[in-house]
């Protein structure tokens, strides 16, 4: 049977779609390889969110086609967000790609790669618990996508153009999937969505995320539940109440994007610096142990020295546990595209590095508070190049985007792997912690 290599680019939501495609392919007898050189079919799940992601997608397609030139019977399949958004342009640049498929028909991946006709969908694909899925993340944790699309109108974001309006999965479907994952040994579920705090609103469900969490808490064997990607203006009192439950990680990823009032209005976002700081104070007063992550954009049109100073002051005042920064990328079809791109690439990079330098000191100080403490960590496995060390994460560290906890073992124990263990923290750097079994 033919061998498939799937290259998944972009966010965790893309990864889930890739895992579902692998599931459908496996059901039809396809086997998988990690090296595209050894594959008969190379599937590239593209990302088209911002320019660097598009550049990475084009590089991946070019690499796949270079492999194809060495063996003409290989197939290259381009799918995903970038294809959905710019199919015609990509087809001109990469005419040798065999199959093009956007974001609507991931469940049709088998007929697509086999060249058979299929009935296309009118909306973005959203999987459910009945879909086959091959989880590709480390054994003790998985992502679960709770919705697709977005109904916000942020002026810089292309997601609604690519994915359409917000559509929630049913609580029944999500819980069934989580039950299945836990039965296979999953300890941590990371709920993902373009905006998890919006969950259920499209279906008329008040406090939908809170209602969902109440159902998931009841799952025996599920030890950690993490919520990723929430809008600041939707952090409700009922949500803060349920976040105090033991199984739910005291962790919120809230993308504030900026702090200056004028920039926030132009972005069509909700909270400026003062209102954002009040929300952060409220969250930390309610849940003192809360770990907060945010995302910020530098170089947005209209961001001069004063506006950037406001952003820096915000970062210092907010004292985020984790922070990501992006340079503004003008995206065609968005409302602020007409504003141009007045801040130079060099200046954007300088501002980005300045924010990260401020955050580095904050993160180092935040990590220092764990010295000498004993904390629970989820152990993912041994380091590949040194089995005396384990790779793990605390409840305050989301997978793939935050730091980790390196745990030193004096003997090569295997019983720690894929479990939650107590670890004494002995050292730290800017982003990671170092510990030993308690």
Domain ranges of the chain: 3-113, 141-368, 374-437
Reply yes or no on domain 374-437 having CATH 2.160.10.10.
Answer: no
List all residues 6 or more positions away from 78 whose beta carbon is below 8 Å from its beta carbon. Answer: 44, 46, 61, 90, 94, 97, 99, 100, 101
The whole-angstrom separation of Cα 142 and Cα 6 is: 18
What's the pLDDT at 380?
95
- What top-level class would CATH report for the domain 3-113? alpha beta
**Length of the chain as a residue count:** 438
| Interacting residues of 118 by C-beta distance below 8 A, sequence separation 6+ | 105, 108, 111, 112
Q: What's 59's DSSP letter?
A: H
Tens place of pLDDT per residue across the chain (438 aa): 799 999 999 999 999 999 999 999 999 999 999 999 999 999 999 999 999 999 999 999 999 999 999 888 899 999 999 999 999 999 999 999 999 999 999 999 999 999 999 999 999 999 999 999 999 999 999 999 999 999 999 999 999 999 999 999 999 999 999 999 999 999 999 999 999 999 999 999 989 999 999 999 999 999 999 999 999 999 999 999 999 999 999 999 999 999 999 999 999 998 999 999 999 999 999 999 999 999 999 999 999 999 999 999 999 999 999 999 999 999 999 999 999 999 999 999 999 999 999 999 999 999 999 999 999 999 999 898 888 899 999 999 999 999 999 999 876 666 788 999 999 999 999 999 999 998
CB contact at 8 A, 296 and 258: yes
Position 384 scores a pLDDT of: 86
Q: Report residue 386 CA to chain centroid gap.
A: 28
Quick one: which of 377, 384, 437 has its CA closest to 413? 437
pTM, 2 dp:
0.95
* CB-based contact 129:116 (threshold 8 Å): no
d(CA 428, CA 434): 6
Dihedral of alpha carbons 302, 305, 308, 310, sign = negative
Which of 297, 306, 292, 300 is CA-nearest to residue 340?
Answer: 300
Least Cα distance to 254 among 314, 211, 176, 214 occurs for 314
pLDDT in the model for residue 414: 64
Token pair of 351, please?
């501002």
Structure tokens at 179: 């039950």
Please give the structure tokens belonging to residue 203. Answer: 């279906």
Identify the DSSP state of 169: P
Beta bridge pairs of residue 427: 434
Q: Provide the edge-to-edge strand list for the sheet that holds 188-192.
A: 141-145, 188-192, 224-227
CA atoms within 13 A on the CB side of 106: 30
Residues 71 and 84: their CA atoms lie apart, in Å, by 28
CB 57 within 8 A of CB 50: no
CB 391 within 8 A of CB 409: no
Distance CA 167, CA 72 (A): 40
Phi, psi angles (nearest 5°) of residue 302: 95, -5
Question: Token digits for 375?
Answer: 């904390």
As its CATH architecture, domain 141-368 has Alpha-Beta Horseshoe (3.80)
167-168 vs 147-148, strand pairing mode? antiparallel
Read off the tokens for 126: 């959203």
Check: CB of residue 403 under 8 Å from CB of residue 428.
Answer: no
**What are the tokens at 422?**
């107590």
At which residue do the structure tokens 């330098």 appear? 357
Comparing C-alpha atoms, which of 79, 177, 398, 18 is closest to residue 87? 79
Q: How far apart, in whole angstroms, are the C-alpha atoms of residue 307 and residue 227?
A: 30
- Smallest CA-to-CA distance from 146 within 110, 206, 190, 101 is with 190
Looking at residue 409, what is its pLDDT?
87
Q: C-alpha angle 399/401/407, rounded to 5°?
A: 55
Strand order in the sheet with 3-8: 31-32, 3-8, 41-46, 75-80, 99-101
């Amino acid at each position: 049977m033919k061998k498939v290599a799937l290259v998944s680019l972009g966010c965790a939501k893309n990864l889930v779609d890739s895992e579902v495609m692998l599931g459908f392919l496996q059901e039809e007898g396809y086997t998988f390889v990690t090296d595209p050189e050894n594959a008969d079919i190379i599937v590239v799940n593209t990302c088209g969110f911002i320019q660097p992601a598009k550049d990475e997608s084009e590089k991946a397609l070019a690499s796949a086609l270079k492999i194809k030139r060495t063996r003409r019977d290989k197939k290259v399949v381009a799918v995903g967000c970038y294809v959905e958004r710019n199919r015609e342009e990509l087809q001109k640049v990469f005419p040798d790609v065999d199959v093009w498929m956007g974001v609507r028909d991931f469940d049709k991946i088998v007929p697509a790669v086999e060249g058979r006709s299929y009935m296309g969908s009118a909306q973005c694909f959203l999987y459910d618990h009945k879909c086959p899925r091959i989880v590709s993340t480390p054994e003790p944790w998985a992502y679960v996508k709770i919705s697709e699309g977005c109904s916000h109108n942020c002026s810089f974001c292309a997601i609604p153009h690519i994915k359409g309006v917000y559509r929630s999965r049913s609580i029944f479907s999500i819980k069934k999937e989580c039950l299945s994952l836990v039965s296979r040994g999953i300890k941590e579920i990371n709920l993902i969505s373009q905006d998890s705090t919006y969950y259920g609103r499209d279906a008329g469900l008040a406090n939908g995320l809170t209602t969902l969490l109440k159902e998931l808490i009841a799952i025996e064997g599920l030890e950690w539940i993490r919520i990723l990607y929430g809008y600041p203006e939707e952090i409700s009192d009922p949500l803060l109440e349920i976040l105090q439950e033991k199984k739910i990680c005291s962790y919120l990823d809230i993308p504030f994007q900026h702090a200056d009032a004028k920039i926030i209005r132009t972005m069509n976002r909700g909270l400026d610096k003062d209102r954002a700081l009040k929300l952060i104070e409220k969250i930390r007063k309610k849940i003192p142990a809360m770990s907060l992550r945010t995302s910020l954009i530098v170089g947005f049109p209209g961001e001069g020295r004063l506006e950037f100073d406001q952003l820096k002051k915000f970062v210092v005042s907010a004292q985020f546990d984790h922070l990501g920064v992006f340079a503004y990328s003008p995206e065609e079809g968005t409302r602020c595209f007409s504003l141009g791109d007045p801040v130079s690439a060099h200046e954007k990079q300088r501002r980005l590095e300045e924010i990260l330098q401020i955050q580095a000191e904050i993160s180092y100080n935040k990590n220092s508070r764990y010295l000498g403490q004993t904390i629970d960590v989820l152990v993912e496995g041994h380091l590949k190049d040194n089995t005396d060390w384990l790779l793990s994460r605390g409840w305050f560290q989301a997978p793939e985007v935050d730091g980790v906890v390196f745990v030193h073992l004096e003997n090569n124990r295997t019983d720690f792997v894929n479990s939650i263990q107590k670890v004494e923290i002995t050292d730290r750097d800017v982003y990671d912690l170092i510990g030993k079994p308690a």
